[in-house]
């Protein structure tokens, strides 16, 4: 029987493994702080905030290089420019 972890638990497990797997690092804490200040209304809801953070982790977990991450994440979240993403690498 397969036990499904609660979303928060499995999300943080993936987040820890992203940082161990990749040779590059995206500072998601600093980015999420910045983006919440830059886009306060859309990110005032925990659902939106958590969804954005989960997307970042999902993309980072699947990308082997920082360049691949930048191309993928700017396609998924076009409201944030490539230069803005690069600030947190």
**35-85 tens-digit pLDDT:** 999 988 888 888 888 999 999 999 998 999 999 999 999 999 999 999 999
Provide DSSP, 31-50: HHHHHHHHSTTGGGSHHHHH
- Residue 1 domain flag: no
Structure tokens at 21: 């797997």
Does 33 fall in a domain? Answer: yes
Q: Which residues span the domain enclosing 77?
A: 7-86
pLDDT in tens, 8-32: 444 444 454 455 456 788 998 899 9
Count up the domains in the chain and report the number: 1
User: Is 2 inside a domain boundary?
Assistant: no
- What count of Cα atoms within 13 Å lies in the side-chain half-sphere of residue 48? 10
| 64 domain residue, yes or no | yes
Question: Which residues fall within 8 angstroms of residue 51, CB to CB, at 6 or more apart?
Answer: none
**Residue 80 in domain:** yes
pTM given for the model: 0.72
Largest CA distance in the chain: 46
Nearest partner of 73 among 60, 83, 64, 61, judged by Cα: 60
Asked, for residue 68, whether it belongs to a domain, the answer is yes
25 within domain boundaries: yes
């Amino acid at each position: 029987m397969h036990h499904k972890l609660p979303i928060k638990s499995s999300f943080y497990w993936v987040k820890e493994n992203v940082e161990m797997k990749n040779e590059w690092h995206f500072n998601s804490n600093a980015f999420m702080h910045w983006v919440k200040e830059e886009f306060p209304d859309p990110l005032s809801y925990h659902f939106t905030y958590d969804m954005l953070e989960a997307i970042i982790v999902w993309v980072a977990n699947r990308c082997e290089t920082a360049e691949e991450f930048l191309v993928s994440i700017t396609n998924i979240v076009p409201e944030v420019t490539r230069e803005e993403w690069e600030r947190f690498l």
